[in-house]
Amino acid sequence: MKNNQKIIFSNSYSPRTGHNFVAQVFKIFTGLEILIHDKSETQLSRILDLYYTHTRRYIYLDSDKKFMDHLFINGLRERILSKSDNSYVLIKDTSFQGVDCLPELFPNDIHILLIRDPKDVLTSGFKAMRFKRKSIKNLIKKIGMKTGLFQLYFSWRVTHQVIDILPNLENRILIRYEDLVIQKEETLQYLKELFNCDKALDDIKAEINEISVINTSFFKEETGGKHIWDEKEKTTKFNPVNRKSKNIFYRKAIEWGTRDLRKKLGYV
């Protein structure tokens, strides 16, 4: 393990937030290694949250708490970094659960919260939904999908599940997925400084343009992808920003269902 190694923790609030694309962008600035593989989602923050909010709180003797911390917590950073000789390693996950544990345990590392417009996240997610199994429950969902009622209910439910675990966003590093897709110069310059990157902005933009896959799985009509990890090069039809359903009822249902979270994240 090198003395100057840093861990980059990147947590998004949900799948379909573009965290794999963002990881590739971070790699341009840092040459980082993604532990344990490019699509790895370790769920480390959730595990730590369960440990501190459930397991540890029911251990009554301090000596037992110290023993458990020795087993699971002490030396955790060193064990993580022992997996790589790279100056930067990335650990990413698709949940905000437990993210407040990370800065406390890893105060000298980099902690990033990735956000994307919830409307786009849910629109992307609904394109991936399939109810192939025959059951009354799935039949009701299919009917609800055709009317937009299911989209409204599901979007509202997911919105409030995220709001319930939403951390305090002040004094946190917030990166918007959209800003990286459109290559917003202010965001790129911020990342250059954050990661001590000496590449020119034009070179960074050119490398971002070379990232061929932007969350393309599932979208056969846009990318040719058929399965969850079926990577295809992006096409002119694929626009990851301001995604819209062709059906106005679907579109409005998702907008209404996600409105509270969009307000919290500054999208409306």
pTM of the model: 0.87
CATH number of 24's domain: 3.40.50
How are beta strands 88-93 and 33-34 bridged, if at all?
Answer: parallel
| Residue 193 domain-assigned (yes or no) | no
Least confident interval from 20-29, 226-235, 252-261: 226-235
Q: Which domain holds residue 44?
A: 1-115
Domain count, the chain: 1
Report d(CA 223, CA 234) in Å as an integer: 6
Amino acid at 44: L
The pLDDT tens digits of the residues spanning 171-215 come to: 899 999 999 999 999 999 999 999 999 999 999 999 999 887 655
Domain membership flag for residue 258: no
Please check whether residue 84 lies inside any domain of the structure. Answer: yes
Is residue 76 one of the residues assigned to a domain?
yes
The rounded radius of gyration (Å) of the Cα atoms in the chain is 20
Residue at 73 is within a domain = yes
Alpha helices in 106-229 (DSSP H): 118-128, 136-147, 149-164, 177-181, 185-194, 201-209, 220-223
Kindly state whether residue 215 falls inside one of the protein's structural domains.
no
Rounded distance, CA 139 to CA 152, Å?
17
In the chain, % of residues over pLDDT 70: 81
192 found inside a domain: no
pLDDT, one tens digit per residue, over 79-138 is 999 999 999 999 999 999 999 999 999 999 999 999 999 999 998 888 766 656 667 766
